[in-house]
Amino acid sequence: MTESRLVTVVDDDDAVREALSDVLQAFGFAVAAFASAEAFLAFKDMERTDCLVLDIAMPGMTGLELQRELKRRGLRIPIVFITAHADQTVRSRALAAGAAEVLFKPFTEAALVDAVRAALILPR
């Protein structure tokens, strides 16, 4: 199945960022990847992003702070959060703020792809 939608991965861990990008590309998605929220915000084609796969805990601006900044700018990009910290409180806050899904590491390729596909059908 070929997807033409742009999925952007933001994670400060090089290995995780590359692995997620590889998985999403293998499923036919166009992928852009960034090591920080600040780098993503500087991306001139940021608004082309159809779904954001976003780490919650990063140095500098966190994923939750980026979510708030996008909302402040009026950008309604569906977000699939990923985190190594299985904290249901943070998950609840992210979902209440509009996240499509929160996945706890480690998660399966299928869970990632299913979450992204579900996020892509949400109204923007």
Element (H, E) at 55: strand 51-55
Pure H helices in the chain: 14-26, 37-41, 63-72, 88-96, 109-120
pLDDT class of 1 with cuts at 50, 70, 90: very low
Distance CA 80, CA 61 (A): 17
Whether residue 119 has pLDDT greater than 70 = yes
What CATH class is the domain 1-60+79-87?
Answer: alpha beta
pLDDT of residue 86: 84
Which pLDDT tens digit goes with each residue over 33-85? Answer: 999 999 999 999 999 999 999 999 999 999 999 999 999 999 999 999 999 98
Q: What token pair was written down for 40?
A: 């993503």
Which pLDDT tens digit goes with each residue over 5-33? Answer: 999 999 999 999 999 999 999 999 999 99
Element (H, E) at 104: strand 101-104
pLDDT of residue 36: 98
